[in-house]
């Protein structure tokens, strides 16, 4: 029986190795560099081993995304506790800037991990709940709609900044504008 759990632990470890390696490869060279061949070579197994753990390549980036949601929920909570709406916004934008590949996996790439669905994983609700907790004081009667707007604004700032489509210099001023706009109704 203990061999059974040991086997399972070995499998789980290898699964984590795959996800970690995929994430490192994506952060280092972008998701287009994460191919089954390169990933298999990096973890020192053949390609079919990957398919023993994940049904396809998208499932691997989804696993990375789920890790990201855990981390994002945590940093949002810390930021919110430190400085409310502004602290949360800073934490969100910092996370997106520091982990662009993970952020892409969470919000830009594949489509099969959705908010607002019945099947939405708990951690996605938790993450959204963090934003809502920071926004609620400014729209107590309908926090959900303002949360969507605030989140969209953060998402827009994050993706356009990551894609070098905003001036790199005015980060703080943009944040000031956004906080002022949402915070003073």
Which residues are near DNA by CB under 7 A?
3, 7, 34-38, 45-49, 51-52, 56-58
Secondary structure (3-state) at 110: coil
Q: What angle do CA 128, 134, 139 make, to 5 degrees?
A: 100
Q: Is 185 in the site for its own copies (CB under 8 A)?
A: yes
Q: Which of 44, 122, 141, 142 binds its own copies (CB under 8 A)?
A: 142
- Candidates 84, 107, 105, 112; CA nearest to 154 is 107
Q: How far apart are CA 5 and CA 11, in angstroms?
A: 10
Q: How far apart are CA 145 and CA 130, in angstroms?
A: 14
Q: Which is nearer to its own copies, 98 or 144 (CB)?
A: 144
Q: Which is nearer to its own copies, 20 or 58 (CB)?
A: 58
Interface residues for its own copies in 152-181 (CB under 8 A)? 152-157, 159-160, 163-167, 170, 173-174, 177-178, 180-181
The partner in contact with residue 56, picked from its own copies, DNA, none with C-beta cut-offs of 5 to 8 angstroms by kind, is: DNA
The partner in contact with residue 146, picked from its own copies, DNA, none with C-beta cut-offs of 5 to 8 angstroms by kind, is: its own copies
Q: Which residues of 52-70 are buried (b: 16+ CB within 10 A; e: fewer)?
A: ebbeebeebbbbbbbbbbe
Q: Which is nearer to DNA, 39 or 132 (CB)?
A: 39
Residue 44 corresponds to which tokens in the numbers above? Answer: 């020192």
The dihedrals phi and psi of 114, each to the nearest 5 degrees, come to -115, 150
Q: Which residue ranges make up the site for its own copies (CB under 8 A)?
A: 107-108, 111, 114-116, 139, 142, 144-146, 148-149, 151-157, 159-160, 163-167, 170, 173-174, 177-178, 180-182, 184-185
């Amino acid at each position: 029986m203990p061999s059974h759990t040991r086997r399972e632990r070995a499998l789980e470890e290898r699964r984590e190795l795959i996800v970690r390696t995929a994430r490192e490869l994506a952060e280092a060279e972008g998701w287009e560099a994460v191919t089954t061949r390169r990933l298999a070579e990096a973890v020192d197994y053949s390609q079919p081993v990957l398919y023993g753990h994940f049904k396809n390549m998208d499932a691997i980036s989804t696993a990375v995304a789920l890790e990201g949601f855990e981390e994002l929920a945590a940093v949002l909570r810390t930021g919110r506790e430190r400085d409310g709406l502004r602290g949360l916004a800073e934490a969100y934008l910092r996370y997106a800037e520091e982990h662009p590949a993970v952020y892409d996996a969470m919000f830009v790439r594949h489509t099969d991990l959705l908010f607002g669905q019945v099947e939405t994983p708990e951690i996605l609700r938790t993450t959204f709940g963090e934003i809502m907790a920071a926004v609620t004081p400014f729209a107590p009667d309908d926090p959900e709609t303002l949360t969507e707007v605030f989140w969209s604004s953060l998402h827009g700032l994050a993706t356009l900044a990551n894609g070098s489509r905003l001036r790199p210099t005015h980060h703080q001023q943009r944040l000031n504008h956004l906080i002022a706009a949402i915070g003073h109704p």
